[in-house]
Amino acid sequence: MKLTIDERWELIDRISRQTVAFGGYKHTLKDAIGDLTVKPLTGIPIALTVLYGFWSFFCSFAGFFTDGFMVKIFDDHWLPWLMEVFPDPDGWLFKIFVGEYGAESCFEAFGVLTSGLFVAVGVVLPAIVAFYLFLIVMEDTGYLPRLAVLIDTLLHKIGLHGFAVVPMILSLGCNVPGVTATRNLETEKQRFMMIALLSVFIPCGAQLGVMLELVPEYVGWIMIFLIMGMFVFGFILNKLIPGRAPEILMDVPPYRKPRWRNVGNKLWMRTSSFFTTAIPFVLLGVVLVNLMYLTGMMDRLATVFSPLLTGYFGVPEETVAPLVAGFLRKDLAIFQLASMEMTAGQLITSIVLISLYFPCIATFAMIIREGWSSGWKGVLKYLAGSLLVLGFVVFVWVGVLRIILMIMGVD
């Protein structure tokens, strides 16, 4: 039997009256908290408090395990044992795998089995675990979508929208999943802008962990400076790049209590890839840098780039070694700065320069992969555009940093 439209609606109403029970709505405590965290007047202070709590947890967790356990294990036991058992302290194998003979800490040795393992396992791993643990809790409680709603208006100023907060936050753990998460953005313009900005201005958790170990008193200022750069150059890119920046409709789920088994599973999934992707690049970077030192290639590169490094950027010419290592791993590059003699201003400038100058090889490969969906033209567009943005950013923003440091009286 074929029903008319009115008869269908009448049948739907009759079925719904028999099956649906209506009751009074009760405004629960979770609903009240949800309203408070999504309205700008109360939501922004709460968001700042949550981010401050995240930063405090990140610093405390990473510092507790690195300084309290890893430094003692590596410097008091692992390093002396390697010095004893490894043959021929003057040989090139010793210099590559153990580093400088007689070094008092893994920070100073710079060998594959000393500094390489210490950076990866002793410094970076606790930082990565701390970051992902807090992020997963924010995801599973339902707070992350509310943060996206709050920041939506601000991100519209640079041609993005609230969903862009997801790749931004993921990039604080690792730029690779951050680049992948840009697929959620609706237009090609937004995806390109987000990839260019996060690969330049957002340091990964590994970099942050090393920065906390190296210059803990300046990390907050460095982060503020990088975030300012992201919005300044995002505004410029939004004006220069044609394309749309559409509005979004975002589903904000109710608050839920996280299931700790799910938190543990997600934490393992995200950190386990660190052992197969990050650690090999760290060790490879130490090998490459040591070989370049042993063959004299690093000294020749330092001579070639000395006018640029010492003249415009105001950093020692030895910074060329961390810049080479930074293409493999940014955390390894920043770690190298610890063994160099430089002023506070030079150290801050070097850290910012390494953060800005080029994405690591894993992020670089992911950028190529994202552009590949559009063929060779897409790859060339992503690469050429990213490199142009990169060169402009490095010269302009590092110059701005030097002016700020001069005004603040930081030598």
Is residue 265 situated within a structural domain?
no
Q: Compute the distance between CA of residue 362 and CA of residue 388 in angstroms, rounded to an integer.
A: 20
Is residue 321 situated within a structural domain?
yes
Q: Compute the distance between CA of residue 197 and CA of residue 293 in angstroms, rounded to an integer.
A: 33
What pLDDT does residue 264 have? 92
What pLDDT does residue 81 have? 92
Name the nearest CA neighbour of 231 among 202, 260, 269, 268: 202
Name the nearest CA neighbour of 158 among 201, 190, 188: 190
What pLDDT does residue 147 have? 87
Q: Compute the distance between CA of residue 140 and CA of residue 48 in angstroms, rounded to an integer.
A: 19
CA 163 vs. chain centroid, Å, equals 17
Q: Compute the distance between CA of residue 371 and CA of residue 358 in angstroms, rounded to an integer.
A: 17
What pLDDT does residue 1 have? 59
| pTM strictly above 0.85 | no
What pLDDT does residue 265 have? 92
Is residue 99 situated within a structural domain?
yes
Is residue 2 situated within a structural domain?
no
Q: Compute the distance between CA of residue 71 and CA of residue 6 in angstroms, rounded to an integer.
A: 76
How many separate domains does the chain show?
1
Is residue 264 situated within a structural domain?
no
What pLDDT does residue 88 have? 83
**Which tokens hold the place of 90?**
């003057």
Q: Are 317 and 307 in contact (CB under 8 A)?
A: no
Is residue 157 situated within a structural domain?
yes
One pLDDT digit (tens) per residue for the chain, 411 residues: 577 777 788 888 888 888 877 766 677 777 788 888 888 889 889 988 998 888 888 888 888 888 888 989 999 999 999 988 888 888 888 988 998 888 888 877 888 899 888 888 888 888 888 888 988 998 899 888 888 888 888 888 888 888 888 888 888 878 878 887 887 787 888 888 888 888 888 888 878 888 887 888 888 888 889 888 889 888 888 888 887 777 666 777 888 889 989 999 999 988 887 777 778 878 888 888 888 888 888 888 888 888 888 888 888 888 888 888 877 778 878 888 877 888 888 888 888 888 887 777 777 777 777 665 556 666 666 666 666 666 777 778 888 888 888 888 776
Residue 275 belongs to what domain range? Answer: 29-249+270-408
What pLDDT does residue 218 have? 86
Is residue 9 situated within a structural domain?
no
Which single residue is written with the structure tokens 């395990």?
65
Is residue 13 situated within a structural domain?
no
How many CB atoms neighbour CB 264 within 10 A?
12
